Chain A
Amino acid sequence: MTGPLITTKFHVPARRTSSVSRPRLTERLAVGARLVLVAAPAGFGKTSTLTEWLATLGDDTAVAWVSLDERDDDENQFWLYVLSALDRALPGVGTAALDLLSSGTSTVEAVLATLINDLDAHDAEAVLVLDDLHAVDNPAIHAGLGFLVEGLPANVRLVVATRTDPPLSLARLRARGELVELRAADLRFTPDEASRYLNETMGLTVDDDDVKALGDRTEGWIAAIQLAALSLQGRDDAAAFIAGFAGDDRYVVDYLIEEVLQRQDEAVRTFLVETSILSRLTGDLCDAVTGTTGGGGILESLDRANLFLVPLDDRREWYRYHHLFGEMLRARLLDERPERVGELHRRASEWLERDGQTAEAIGHALDGGAYERAAVLILAAMRTMQQHRQEATLVQWLEQLPREVVRATPGLSVGFAGVLLSSGRTDGVEALLNDAEDAVGGDAESIRAVRAGVALYRAAQALTRGDLDTAFRQSATAVELADGGGHIDRGSATGLHGLVLWARGDLVAAEASWATSLDSLYRAGHRSDMIGGSIAMADILLARGRLRDARDVYARGLEVAAEIDPARRGAADMYIGMSEVLREQGDLEGARRQLAAAEGLGEYAGMPQSRHRRRMAAAGLAQAEGDPASAVALLEDAERLYTPDFFPEVRPISALRARMLLAAGRVADATEWVRRRGVAIGDDLSYLREYDHVTLARVLLATGRVDDATRLLERLRDTAEEGKRGGSVLETLVLTSLAHQRAGRTDAALTTLRSAVALAEPEGYLRVFADEGEPMGRLLAALTKRDGSTPYLRRLQTATVGARIPQASRQGLIDPLSDRELDVLRLLGSDLGGPEIARELVISLNTLRTHTKNVYAKLGVTSRREAVRRAAELGLLTSR
């Protein structure tokens, strides 16, 4: 926020003594309903009616009020004020939501869900009033309001006063009886009310005929009747005035305001017209604008005479003009003194800047055409506003500046480009960056800063386009240039460079770049960004096969998260990562605990990506515990909740799901994934598609295409070794050993397995073996027999065999196969002929035939090929 919150926006307007009490309206508002809508043009007494009603509420109803204006048409600003208002009314209720909002990495939905929870828990009766909602046009804000309305607990009501019906499913709410409406027809003065107002409140003497004439002419429009009353004060000839007024065709407000203005002296008239440019008035500010003194006194007297001013606080320090009146005055200003307008705005801008109201100051500078001034102010405010995610406002301002002004200030051009990119826009970014480069000048530091910004944004653009070569060049330049800058600059540049390197598969360099980034971000105090970067760092370490180092990164991330706040953003992501490392190392209990800690922080506590990552981790855990069906279901959830980020997609959910399908024995479905995904054995191999291709190898194994699998795995291992991806090397070795086993090549299987075990042991890998189930169990047993037992091998074996439910009960057959029959079945799935199988199993050919007949009968098939297929479907040839 540029400057503190403007507290007058929260002020609940006080009851004016000059208002007429209208119980017929306040009674209607008293009906409990989710949404109260007061919709009518300006001057119909919306605010007055609401304040009259609010005064009837007891002390146990908290009232939160926000007076909206066009600057609130920025999502972040809008919710900031709404949440702050609620927090002021119900202390503590908005805190968590405000936290989430200011973090900038959450969705509005998440923020509102948090708010709704807190409101529900708080239990007190509350009313949230949004005055002048028509000032907000942004459909995203209306969508958020719709979400809020739907989720409001029974103890909270939303009240909206506006000149335009908001797009809030009003018809549906009406039909459900959840909407109370007051419209122009309701708000108009009835003849009785008009009479009471004129004769009692304003102390005039107007007979019934004249009241009727006035009412007819104004159609009960309260603002008009008020103006008429002001015109009638001190007049003897009320009847004549009303007759003249009734017979005139002029727009009523024009006519009446003219009347009232005429009765003021010149100085006051000038004051009114010149200060009409201000949305909020106070004595000092008015003096600065008009270039005179005594502004405070004039405001006081206007207030006392009930002329057009609305007090904005209890101390009579700040006011605003009644909307209609302000409009008229501004029209007069434009008409009578157009040449003064620029100067008036400039004076207002200067005073507001000195008063610390930067956003207001910028608004006036822009309105008054003082573009150079506005440019300076915007440049100074830019960084803070970006930190508070107020990009929308920045874009609005910058778009009002003439192109030459932006171009003349490289800092603005770069900043504008950056803000557009943050808003997801690319239009005009390249031109702005070119402008910045062309105009760069000044001292060495300014030049460095501009060039660094240009390189960084060019890199970001290239990355989103998928142009990794350009992204590499530009981000490398950004890193060089960041050297003279501060920690934040270095942190951003090395982080982006790390992403590019990662996407290009250069994991060694990516790791180094990220290490610098995390360090810089930490020193810059950007804890959340550092934790976010830790996720990338850990992913890279895991790819490199450095399980222990990845675990350290998560542990450090949790430490940092605790430094700021126990429930701080990013902690959830660290728990999730930690749970995956522990799972791999075989500590399923520990993994469960970490996952529970992540869940305990709430659905929205982590980065947006944590929602699908958590479910992926839970799926892995489910599968390790022998429940692949649940794993598949969890991954289907994950797919629905998936939100992409800037990280390369190195572990696509659909591929993980395909692996779980294999674990669940749904080989046909996994094969379908292969087809839809478009992976094939002839593909070029690349880091970004590695996970998909390893998954393909698994499917090939499960469908008995052992040779194809072996060849693919060999190629995959080569590229993984080249790219220094130890994690993938290990996995391909494990799968290759299983492939050899299936093909009956026991020696090759054991040699490969031996290499895998040697690689895995220092890092504590376990599940990569254990998840392969029974076939791996037999291989490990064979390896132990050949090489002798070791503690690590024993752990692997226990984990591999122990967690499994006995084969028979998982077969899904009425009459399960015996162990011997299973042996036969497995070899039926290989390329071996009958005699070779018999020799392998050390039985006679006759015995083999008997077994085979039984196998076919139990599977309900009549051929070897069918038997293999059926077995694969049932997961009897279990593989992943």
Chain B
Amino acid sequence: MTSFPSSSPQAYEIRVSGHLDARWATRFDGMTLTPTDGGITAIRGVLADQAALHGVLRQLRDAGLPLISVLPLDTRSPS
């Protein structure tokens, strides 16, 4: 069982509904946007800590983007 210390950098994959334009990348500095099947976009990247994660989620909320899932990624094998 891996532990996820909340104050150290961690890679996340956040899935939202709708394919996002490339221009969204500037909003989510340092994260990649990958459109996937079913009209879902996977936003992936390393976030400094919980506060940074909540910051991204808040931006998604304010943009009206329906949130589907938030998963920590094993940094050794980014899929």
User: A: which residues have CB within 8 A of B?
Assistant: 41-43, 134, 163-164, 221, 223, 249-254, 323-324, 327-328, 331-332, 334-336, 338
Contacts and interface: CB of A to CB of B under 8 A. Distances in A.
17 contacts: A41-B61, A41-B64, A42-B63, A42-B64, A163-B62, A223-B64, A250-B20, A251-B16, A251-B20, A251-B41, A253-B18, A253-B63, A327-B64, A328-B63, A331-B63, A334-B26, A334-B27
A327 B23 contact: no
A122 B23 CA distance: 54
A380 B21 CA distance: 43
Interface in B1-22: 16-21
Nearest to A338: B26
Contact of B27 (A249, A251, A331, A336): A331
B24 A327 contact: no
Contacts of A327: 62-64
Interface residues of B, number: 19
A163 B23 contact: no
A41 B41 CA distance: 19
A250 B23 contact: no
Nearest to B67: A41
Contacts of B20: 250-251, 254
Contacts of B68: none
A336 B20 CA distance: 16
A221 B65 CA distance: 11
Contacts of B35: 249
B78 interface: no
Nearest to A327: B63
A249 B26 contact: no
Q: Would you list the 9 A-B pairs with minimal beta carbon distance, nearest first?
A: A251-B18, A335-B23, A249-B39, A42-B64, A249-B19, A334-B26, A327-B63, A250-B19, A335-B26
Contacts of B61: 41-42, 134, 163-164
Contacts of A252: 18
Contacts of A42: 61-64
B23 A332 contact: yes
A331 B59 CA distance: 11
B23 to A, nearest CB: 4
Contacts of A253: 18, 63-64
Nearest to A43: B64
A331 B23 contact: yes
A323 B27 CA distance: 16
Nearest to B18: A251
Nearest to B20: A251
Main secondary structure of the interface of B (DSSP, over half): mixed
A250 B18 contact: yes
Interface in B21-66: 21, 23-24, 26-27, 35, 39, 41, 61-66
A101 to B, nearest CB: 29
Given A253-B18, A328-B63, 5 more contacts: A42-B64, A249-B35, A251-B18, A324-B64, A335-B23
A43 B27 CA distance: 20
Nearest to B39: A249
Nearest to A255: B18
Contacts of B39: 249
A249 B37 CA distance: 9
A327 B21 CA distance: 14
Contacts of A335: 23, 26
Contacts of B63: 42, 253, 324, 327-328, 331
Contacts of A336: 23
A254 B21 contact: yes
A331 B18 contact: no
Contacts of A163: 61-62
A323, A332, A335, A336 interface centre (most CB from chain B within 10 Å)? A335
Given A41-B61, A223-B64, A327-B63, A251 B26 contact: no
B12 to A, nearest CB: 19
A41 B64 CA distance: 6
Contacts of B18: 249-254
Nearest to A41: B64
Nearest to B38: A249
B20, B63, B65 interface centre (most CB from chain A within 10 Å)? B63
A332 B24 CA distance: 8
Contacts of B24: 331
Contacts of B66: 41
Contacts of A250: 18-21
A323 B59 CA distance: 12
Contacts of B17: 251
A334 B23 CA distance: 8
A43 B63 CA distance: 10
B62 A251 contact: no
Contacts of A223: 64
A323 to B, nearest CB: 7
A163 B62 CA distance: 8
A334 B27 CA distance: 8
Contacts of B26: 331, 334-335, 338
A43 to B, nearest CB: 5
Contacts of A251: 16-21, 41, 65
Nearest to A254: B21
Nearest to B24: A331
Nearest to B21: A254
Nearest to A224: B64
Nearest to A252: B18
Contacts of A41: 61, 64, 66
Contacts of B41: 251
B32 to A, nearest CB: 16
Contacts of B21: 250-251, 254
